[in-house]
Structures are given as structure tokens and as C-alpha cells.
């Protein structure tokens, strides 16, 4: 009886060992091998750019540390958030939320972009201009100017966003895509000034008139120079 129990235990041990070895070999087989990450949520960055950034080698999906991958991505200037998920059998999908550029600026080293928090973003493509307002005469070394400019750009009403071509920091003036200069003056009563600007532009459109300059520095007494 003892010999029979011993034989059964030995057989079970061999079976368990065989199963462990089989599972190990299966988990380390090419079935779970992956050679690239699947990216989602990209608008400004390209998959190739992020592939180069993380420098992901061909590896077994079980060896991928998704927390380490996300941590590395969070160091990228364009990445606001990232989430990595695993899909059977060998897919790693990373959902990226990019920072939102709201303006672009020319510098000696090329174009840079400004995000909603006043942070600087490198251009994702050399020599490419985006359909964003251009900010001129801004000291990019001044965090105060960057944050103030970002705050102002975020206050532009949706109706006006597509018509603004340039913001000049020194003159505190906008230029529309039709060439109208808009003097904003000191950063006070901005909501009132934008509401007034919408009304003036609507009125000019109804009268089929083109302004050369709109002075809103004193919103109670706006000055409109007609072409």
C-alpha cells in the first residue's frame, strides 16, 4: 500500500513538473513575442516618433513592464497622460493623451509651440507651421510671459479662435487673418473686451465694412478705424 501511494505521489510530481515546464516553454515561445507597441490617441505625434523614443526591442510580452513604459512616456514633452494595456496574446496597446498646443512661436532654433499651461513644446515636424496663432515678441525664458500668454489665448472665444492670426506681446495686440489690428491694452476686463470685439466684428460684417484697427484699450470707448 505504501509503495502504491509513493508511486502515485511520484507520478503526480512528474506530471506537475511536466506541466510547469510546458507552461514555461509556452510562455516563452514566439507565440507571445511582440516587436512593436500599438499607439492610439495620436494627433500631433507619429507612431514612428514614439517608437524611436521608447526604443522598444523585440521581446516577450510577459517581460514588458507597463508601469516602466508609462513612466518613460511621461518624460516626453508632448505626453500629458499615457495608459498601457495588454491584449491576448502578444499585443501592448498604449493610449496617449497629448498636450494641447494653442499657439506657435518662431525662435532662433525653429518653431516651438505653447500649451494651455504655458509650457513649451518642440515642433513635431521640422519646418512645419501649424494652423495656430503666432505669438511674437515673447521672451520664451520668461515663465511669467508664457503663462500670461497661455491664459490669454485660452480666453479667446471659440467664435473668434479661427480668425486670430497673431498676438504681439509687446504691443498687446492681435492681428486677424484679414489684417485687422486689435489693440487689447492691459490684461484687465478681458472677457468684456472679447464680448465687445465679437459684437464689433459682427456689426462690421453686417454693414460689409472692413476695419483697419479696433482699439479696445478702453472698452467703454472703443475706437474703430475703417478702411
**pTM higher than 0.85 for the full model?**
no
pLDDT per residue over 202-216, tens digit each?
999 999 999 999 999
Q: What's the pLDDT score for residue 35?
A: 82
Q: Are residues 11 and 70 in the same domain?
A: yes
> Rounded mean pLDDT of 177-195?
96
Span 40-76, pLDDT tens digits: 999 999 999 999 999 888 687 778 889 999 999 999 9
What CATH number does the domain containing 208 carry?
A: 3.40.50
**What range does the domain containing 75 cover?**
2-98
58 and 34 fall within a common domain: yes
Positive/negative CA dihedral, 14, 19, 25, 27: negative
Query: Quick one: 58 and 85 in the same domain?
Result: yes
- Of 98, 127, 161, the position where a domain reaches its end is 98
Amino acid at each position: 500500500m505504501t509503495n502504491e501511494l509513493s508511486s502515485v505521489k511520484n507520478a503526480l510530481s512528474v506530471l506537475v513538473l511536466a506541466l510547469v515546464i510546458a507552461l514555461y516553454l509556452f510562455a516563452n515561445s514566439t507565440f507571445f513575442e511582440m516587436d512593436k507597441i500599438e499607439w492610439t490617441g495620436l494627433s500631433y505625434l507619429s507612431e514612428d516618433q514614439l517608437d524611436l523614443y521608447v526604443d522598444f526591442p523585440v521581446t516577450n510580452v510577459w517581460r514588458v513592464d507597463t508601469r516602466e513604459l508609462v513612466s518613460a512616456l511621461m518624460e516626453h514633452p508632448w505626453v500629458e497622460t499615457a495608459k498601457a494595456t495588454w491584449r491576448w496574446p502578444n499585443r501592448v496597446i498604449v493610449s496617449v493623451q497629448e498636450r494641447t498646443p494653442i499657439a506657435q512661436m518662431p525662435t532662433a532654433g525653429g518653431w516651438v509651440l505653447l500649451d494651455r499651461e504655458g509650457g513649451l513644446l518642440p515642433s513635431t515636424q521640422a519646418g512645419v507651421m501649424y494652423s495656430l496663432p503666432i505669438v511674437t515678441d515673447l521672451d520664451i525664458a520668461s515663465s511669467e510671459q508664457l503663462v500670461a500668454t497661455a491664459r490669454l489665448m485660452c480666453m479667446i472665444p471659440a467664435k473668434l479662435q479661427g480668425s486670430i492670426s497673431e498676438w504681439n506681446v509687446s504691443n498687446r495686440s492681435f492681428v486677424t487673418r484679414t489684417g485687422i489690428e486689435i489693440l487689447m491694452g492691459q490684461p484687465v476686463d478681458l472677457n468684456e473686451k472679447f464680448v465687445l470685439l465679437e459684437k464689433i466684428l459682427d456689426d462690421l460684417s453686417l454693414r460689409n465694412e472692413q476695419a483697419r484697427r479696433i482699439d479696445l484699450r478702453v472698452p467703454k470707448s472703443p475706437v474703430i478705424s475703417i478702411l
